[in-house]
Structure 1
């Protein structure tokens, strides 16, 4: 990975690590799906304007239009809708471990399946190491009791699907980013996906219609603005660029760094506990990200770990 992409990766981890607090503040006061939908629609409109100003106006072919719609639904609507719905029935720590652990694993799996990645045993080991670190990080809040049946179990499945949906859409998006530009793809996917998510919110969330015409509390507005500017305009755009330039597995390793940043922010500014096991978990997650990002620089070990599978060059 080039120094420029390392810098982008660091910014992405920092920004998306800090968005957790903004999301928490917002969904406590505004229906979650509505909060996400309006954020994505606003960011999409701005990104489309930027793409237009940059001259990114190439017409989409028929097949690419269909792929764009699928990508938008997978990355936005079918990710954030089930995620927020499922979090109503699953403890937040459990939800975080499931969603963040599955994201990089699913990105690697779909990348290999769709020909965007080649199997690398060392990178796969890093994914498992990071998943273990996540479990340590959120250990006190993991609660699997009562999830055997009913809505809690369906919620758990919905959260797992959110990670899979996002990863699937991300891998499918890579060819489109190369052809039509990261700003335009970021704008179109967030605008289309956010619009469908808004329709779903109006149909499902009982308070969504009222919340559209009622002024929000200033905390929700501040969190929404932070998510639009930093989470979407900056973070989502960088993520799209990393997908194109580094591949799904490397781009997806943000999921091992941003939760550690989120916890550090919580410890520093929200009086969250600073237990030893959480810092051990953070260390394992950062190590996993370093291994994942540097795996291609260790060809001898990568080849051994891949059990004879040729390394992509």
Structure 2
């Protein structure tokens, strides 16, 4: 495990060096989209025996411990002031804990398409939060790109959007997903603040994941949820993929991306990950593409071009 942790960290360090070029930014952007798009399928493999809150806690606990061991062995673990520790704790509670609780709760009622539509609003919420908390300029092209992309997501999931009704629990579930999206945006802003203070992003994520997983374990105890693990190859395989690839790698890339292009444009990843999830679903779950989905794909990609064209 220790050797594997060092190998992973060295590989990620090489990717971070590559990231400093303009081509590298696009490379990391695409890799992050591909990774997070694939995590939806991995999450489905975890559903069943272990409660989702406990599975999320396992995911970030494993990720945090692996990075902690790797940084300790490589001698790159630095001391962080208490003033900054508070922001790392806040980043953990927002980005690695609270947003998952609300979105997972809403997902139990809403179809995945509507969840993706609500989460795609992060392009807008990131821009608004950046303006309020970091005095970042409002960008009309990022706003337009977000609206275009959201329209594309709505087209892709037309049947699910059309079936939405205010008569059942769907409205409450959508509101929960929106709260989760807002918490994720606030977590992005805290991450951007930590990047601005020149804190090491990998260590920030590691500490945030440990804070987040600790809060989730505590919540599990309060809710009376059994803290168990399923010892099947499917569960353990998906757990390690979500921890090492979907968390250690993807969140490091994403937080670095926030520091390079800003939270607004980095947030556009929320619009692209459902597309990757649909491609995987078409391969493994016999998802059938429609003309609506194709038109939506064009809009999402067009919006992405608008958002990133000045890079």
Which category of TM-score, normalised to the shorter sequence, fits these structures? 0.7 to 0.9
- Please tell me whether residue 85 in structure 1 is matched to residue 138 in structure 2: no
Match of 1:8 among 23, 28, 32: 28
- Please tell me whether residue 18 in structure 1 is matched to residue 38 in structure 2: yes
> Tell me, what secondary structure is at the counterpart of 1:257?
helix
> Tell me, what secondary structure is at the counterpart of 2:138?
coil
Could you tell me whether the CA contact under 8 Å between 1:182 and 1:241 is conserved in 2?
yes
1:229 paired residue number: 244
Report the CA distance shift for 1:194/1:159 in structure 2 as closer, same or farther (over 3 A): same
The 5 Å alignment of 1:1-313 reads: 2-99=22-119, 101-115=120-134, 117-142=136-161, 143-145=163-165, 147-148=166-167, 151-178=169-196, 179-204=198-223, 208-209=225-226, 212=228, 215-294=230-309, 296=310
Q: CA deviation at 1:13?
A: 0.6
CA RMSD of aligned residues (A): 2.0
Measured against aligned partners, the alpha-carbon deviations of 1:203-239 in whole angstroms (never above 9, x if no partner) come to: 33x6x41x61x53433222221211121011111111
Could you tell me whether the CA contact under 8 Å between 1:38 and 1:194 is conserved in 2?
yes
Structure 1 window deviating more from structure 2 (54-63 vs 33-42): it is 54-63
Distance 1:85 1:130 in 2: 25
Distance 1:215 1:12 in 2: 28
Structure 1 window deviating more from structure 2 (267-276 vs 38-47): it is 267-276
Distance 1:262 1:168 in 2: 25
Q: CA deviation at 1:55?
A: 4.2
Report the CA distance shift for 1:270/1:29 in structure 2 as closer, same or farther (over 3 A): farther
Q: How many residues align?
A: 289
Distance 1:137 1:17 in 2: 15
Measured against aligned partners, the alpha-carbon deviations of 1:32-80 in whole angstroms (never above 9, x if no partner) come to: 1111110011101112233334544443333222222212111122101
TM-score by length of 1: 0.86
Q: CA deviation at 1:273?
A: 1.5
Structure 1 window deviating more from structure 2 (54-63 vs 158-167): it is 54-63
Distance 1:275 1:253 in 2: 23
Q: CA deviation at 1:114?
A: 2.3
